[in-house]
């Protein structure tokens, strides 16, 4: 035994010319000391360097010698190693380097891949670097990846793991017990013994066998499926004597027939694998079949509907759309779903629904009602009474850029006096903001939204009537966190309004319309499919309102019971999402209109505080929405055309409206106002805070 450890060097050079004999050195020569056959076999283990200017390693004789190489063997001759005439073994390990060729010479010689590593099979063959070997062996416990094309025509025995992405078209490959063959390969023949496994490809792939592919009883054929493709063995002849097919799906599968062994002829016309081991599919049934000499795998629905694991109406709608499509990325993904993924499927249905597009109707409805409330505030301001008590009911009006002072107060008030005999012109501006939270209803998820903007207007009061126009801008943002979705809307607003006073009775009305630019983004996916759909489209909001009120006073406090009837309509244009080939949705747009009424009481009272006037105020009201309060949107998947309807977060059917705050006229030129507005319901809360500081020059 010779051990050359890592870092060791064995070398020999013949620097003198010898007449009549070779004039080269041999680093290792095993003979009988007279260049005759060695009397014993030799094992050489090399992790270092062996080199010479002649044949570096020479074994003479018919002994069964072994070279286990993980180092460098270098020769100045074409031949680096001559293993002699016995049944020799050369073990190729990771790190093995050879300068010159290796010959197994005569005998039955084996080239073994040992340990873990990779090799170019182009190095093996009778005209290659490793030549004159009769057997290629992958040792037990070894794991190698092989590439390239080899002319090797001997026997190949796999007792370990071999991933072959290349060709051994002249060799017959045997896969032994507890061994595995994979990769995309071309073989001369294939035999899988009991306990052996063949798994074509590096994911889904194929092994081509020019001769016969044989599976013995107890063997395993591991078949992977992805979409409409599967692993396959393509053979000239099949010989199926039993064994097991182990099936796995790489994220998706399609209902239909897969050919897993394709052969033009067979030696076992009635042969079949003994068993099929498949995942615990939720929706799919797998069976083996034959088609002439070929073996097939049939995947079909097991009768369980996609909607079986839906927990809400929206989820069921999405599930039915995917089922009706009968194909596509998402259908294939669901078909591969297995037990334990039921909750992930339900969550996936929600993410696929595009619910945020429908829930945007809720946000834009709140925006339209806030615009209407701002117009009502200006009309109350314009129709305030002449007494201090009823003049206090002008609270919460916009800032007047131009307008008269009230005769009922020594300070500039928010409201002009009613009953002026000539035209009174006013210009005004009002900012507004709101934060909304609408809880989910068990179908749609919770919606959080915020919006802000302003209106600026001008009006004229003639006698007891006021007419005006306004324009403005609003920006709204809505988030459906549970659906990983958001929408932003920028809206340009126009409005017209009018009001009249008949003694203590007030009649007010107005209309507004907005044009919106909408941008949405969301994360959509299911069971490994994940995309980021985006969309941009236009929309519009319309609001009409009419209000009747009666102004009264008692004990120096102003009271105004009122009744309001209004109607809001939200529309969006058609859209198609982009950036999402599998999960993207298209829609003809949203059409959502809601009539609603508000009954309530406003009250306010002014107090002299030092040199100023403090006016606390409040509004208490009940708001009721009529008809369908849930925005719904027709959707379809762009990839397959599967259509469904999704319901968004509903607006509150009944809610309590509360407003409270104060106006403080500090002096003739300086005033401060702070107001809170809230809308409270069992499912919804809306909160707004407004404040202003005005200095008049």
Residue 416 belongs to a domain: no
Residue 362 belongs to a domain: yes
Residues 604 and 484 in one domain: yes
- Span of 155-159, 361-365, 448-452, 551-555 with lowest mean pLDDT: 551-555
Q: Which residues contact 178 (CB under 8 A, 6 or more apart)?
A: 140, 159, 195, 196
Q: pLDDT of 294-309, one tens digit each?
A: 999 999 999 999 999 9
pLDDT at 687: 83
Burial pattern 596-621, b for ≥16 Cβ within 10 A else e, equals: bebebebbbbbeeeeebbbbbbbbeb
DSSP percent split of the chain into helix, strand, coil, nearest 5: 10, 55, 30
Q: Residue 397 pLDDT more than 80?
A: no
Residue that the structure tokens 């003479």 belong to: 60
Residues 232 and 361 in one domain: no
Q: Residue 286 pLDDT more than 60?
A: yes
Question: Final residue of a domain: which of 240, 267, 293?
Answer: 240
- Span of 355-359, 427-431, 508-512 with lowest mean pLDDT: 427-431
The SS3 of residue 374 is: helix
Q: State the pLDDT confidence band at 692, using cuts at 50, 70 and 90.
A: low
Residue 444 belongs to a domain: yes
pLDDT at 33: 86
Q: Residue 409 pLDDT more than 90?
A: no
Q: State the pLDDT confidence band at 695, using cuts at 50, 70 and 90.
A: low
Q: At what angle do helices 342-352 and 313-325 cross, to 10 degrees?
A: 90
Report the range out of 356-360, 425-429, 687-691 with the highest average pLDDT. Answer: 356-360
Residue 393 belongs to a domain: yes
Residues 639 and 516 in one domain: yes
Choice between 669 and 439, residue whose per-residue pLDDT is larger: 439
Do residues 43 and 65 touch, judged by C-beta distance below 8 A?
A: yes
Please report which helix (H) or strand (E) contains residue 344, including its range.
helix 342-352
pLDDT at 408: 39
Q: State the pLDDT confidence band at 339, using cuts at 50, 70 and 90.
A: very high
pLDDT at 215: 98
Q: pLDDT of 25-37, one tens digit each?
A: 788 999 988 889 9
Looking at every residue in the chain, the average pLDDT score rounds to: 91
pLDDT at 13: 81
CATH number for 445: 2.40.128.130
124: left (phi over 0), alpha (psi -120 to 50) or beta: beta
Q: What CA–CA distance (Å, rounded) separates 356 from 334? A: 23
Mean pLDDT of 128-154: 96
Q: What CA–CA distance (Å, rounded) separates 343 from 523? A: 18
Residues 438 and 577 in one domain: yes
Do residues 690 and 432 touch, judged by C-beta distance below 8 A?
A: yes
Q: What CA–CA distance (Å, rounded) separates 348 from 329? A: 13
Residues 228 and 364 in one domain: no
pLDDT at 417: 40
Split into its structural domains, the chain has a count of: 2
Please report which helix (H) or strand (E) contains residue 351, including its range.
helix 342-352
pLDDT at 398: 65
Q: Dihedral of CA 412/415/420/423: which sign?
A: positive
Structure tokens at 266: 């067979």
Residue 411 belongs to a domain: no
Q: Residue 415 pLDDT more than 80?
A: no
Q: State the pLDDT confidence band at 228, using cuts at 50, 70 and 90.
A: very high
Residue 110 belongs to a domain: yes
Q: Residue 618 pLDDT more than 80?
A: yes
From residue 298, how far is each of 201, 214, 287 by CA, in Å? 20, 22, 5
Domain that holds residue 36: 2-15+22-240
**What radius of gyration do the chain's Cα atoms show?**
43
Q: Residue 414 pLDDT more than 50?
A: no
pLDDT at 688: 77
- Span of 86-90, 308-312, 551-555, 624-628 with lowest mean pLDDT: 551-555
Residue 250 belongs to a domain: no
330: left (phi over 0), alpha (psi -120 to 50) or beta: alpha
Mean pLDDT of 178-195: 98
Question: Final residue of a domain: which of 206, 240, 274?
Answer: 240
Residues 234 and 365 in one domain: no
Q: What CA–CA distance (Å, rounded) separates 88 from 77? A: 22
Mean pLDDT of 646-662: 93
Q: pLDDT of 505-524, one tens digit each?
A: 999 999 999 999 999 999 99
Residues 354 and 208 in one domain: no
Structure tokens at 68: 């286990």
Mean pLDDT of 158-183: 97
Question: Final residue of a domain: which of 240, 261, 294?
Answer: 240
Q: How many CB atoms lie within 10 A of CB 398?
A: 24
Q: State the pLDDT confidence band at 696, using cuts at 50, 70 and 90.
A: low
Residue 339 belongs to a domain: no
Q: Residue 669 pLDDT more than 80?
A: no
Q: Residue 419 pLDDT more than 70?
A: no
pLDDT at 196: 98
Do residues 104 and 84 touch, judged by C-beta distance below 8 A?
A: no
Q: Residue 273 pLDDT more than 70?
A: yes
pLDDT at 679: 87
Torsion of CA 105, 110, 114, 120, to 10 degrees: 70
Q: What CA–CA distance (Å, rounded) separates 147 from 164? A: 6
Q: What percent of the chain has pLDDT over 90?
A: 77
């Amino acid at each position: 035994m010779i051990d050359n450890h890592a870092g060791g060097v064995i070398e020999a050079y013949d620097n003198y010319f010898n007449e009549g004999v070779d004039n080269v050195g041999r680093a290792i020569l095993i003979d009988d000391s007279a260049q005759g056959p060695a009397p014993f076999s030799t094992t050489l283990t090399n992790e270092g360097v062996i080199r010479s200017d002649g044949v570096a390693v020479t074994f003479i004789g018919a002994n069964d010698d072994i070279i286990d190489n993980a180092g460098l063997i270098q020769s100045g001759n074409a031949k680096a190693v001559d293993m002699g005439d016995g049944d020799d073994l050369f073990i190729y390990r990771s790190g093995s380097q050879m300068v010159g060729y290796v010959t197994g010479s005569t005998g039955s010689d084996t080239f073994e891949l040992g340990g873990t590593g990779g090799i170019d099979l182009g190095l093996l063959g009778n005209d290659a670097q490793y030549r004159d070997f009769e057997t290629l062996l992958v040792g037990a416990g070894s794991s190698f990846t092989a590439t390239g094309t080899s002319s090797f025509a001997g026997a190949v025995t796999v007792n370990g793991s071999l991933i072959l992405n290349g060709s051994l078209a002249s060799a017959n490959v045997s896969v032994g017990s507890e061994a595995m063959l994979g990769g995309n390969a071309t073989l001369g023949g294939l035999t899988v013994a009991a306990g052996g496994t063949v798994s074509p490809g590096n994911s889904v792939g194929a092994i081509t066998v020019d001769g016969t592919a044989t599976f013995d009883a107890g063997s395993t054929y591991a078949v992977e499926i992805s979409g409409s493709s599967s692993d396959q063995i393509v053979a000239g002849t099949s010989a199926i004597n039993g064994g097991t097919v182990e099936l796995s799906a790489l994220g998706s599968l399609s209902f239909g027939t897969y050919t897993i062994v394709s052969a033009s002829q067979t030696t076992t016309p009635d042969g079949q694998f003994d068993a099929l081991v498949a995942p615990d599919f939720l929706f799919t049934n797998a069976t083996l079949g034959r088609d002439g000499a070929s073996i097939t795998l049939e995947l079909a629905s097991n009768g369980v509907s996609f909607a079986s694991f839906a927990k809400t109406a929206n989820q069921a709608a999405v599930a039915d759309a995917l089922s009706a499509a009968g194909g596509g990325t998402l259908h294939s993904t669901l078909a591969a779903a297995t037990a334990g993924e039921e909750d992930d499927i339900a969550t996936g249905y929600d993410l696929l629904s595009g619910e945020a597009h429908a829930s945007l109707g809720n946000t834009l409805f709140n925006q339209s009602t806030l615009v209407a409330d701002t117009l009502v505030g200006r009309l109350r301001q314009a129709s305030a009474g002449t007494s201090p008590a009823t003049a206090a009911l002008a609270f919460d009006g916009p800032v007047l850029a131009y307008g008269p002072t009230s005769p009922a107060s020594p300070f500039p008030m928010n409201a002009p006096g009613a009953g002026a005999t000539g035209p009174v012109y006013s210009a005004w501006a009002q900012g507004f903001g709101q934060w909304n939270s609408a809880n989910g209803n068990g179908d749609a998820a919770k919606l959080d939204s915020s919006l802000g903007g302003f209106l600026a207007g001008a009006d004229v009061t003639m006698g007891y009537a006021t007419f005006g126009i306004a324009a403005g801008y609003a920006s709204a943002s809505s988030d459906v966190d549970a659906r990983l979705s958001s929408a932003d809307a920028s809206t340009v607003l126009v409005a017209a309004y009018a009001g009249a006073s008949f003694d203590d009775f007030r009649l007010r009305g107005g209309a507004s319309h907005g044009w919106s630019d909408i941008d949405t983004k969301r994360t959509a996916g299911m069971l490994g499919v994940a995309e980021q759909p985006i969309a941009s489209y236009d929309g519009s909001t319309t609001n009409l309102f009419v209000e009747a009120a009666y102004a009264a006073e008692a004990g120096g406090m102003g009271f105004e019971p009122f009744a309001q009837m209004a109607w809001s309509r939200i529309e969006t244009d058609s859209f198609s999402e982009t950036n999402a080939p599998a999960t993207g949705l298209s829609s003809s747009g949203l059409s959502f209109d809601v009539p609603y009424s508000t009954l309530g009481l406003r009250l306010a009272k002014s107090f002299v505080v030092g040199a100023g006037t403090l006016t606390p105020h409040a509004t208490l009201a009940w708001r009721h929405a009529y008809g369908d309060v849930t925005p719904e949107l027709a959707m379809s998947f762009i990839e397959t055309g599967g259509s469904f309807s999704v319901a968004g977060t509903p607006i509150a059917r009944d809610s309590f409206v509360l407003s409270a705050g104060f106006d403080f006229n500090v002096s003739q030129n300086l005033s401060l106002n702070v107001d809170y507005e809230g809308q409270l319901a069992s499912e919804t809360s809306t909160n707004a805070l407004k404040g202003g500081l005005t200095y008049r020059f």
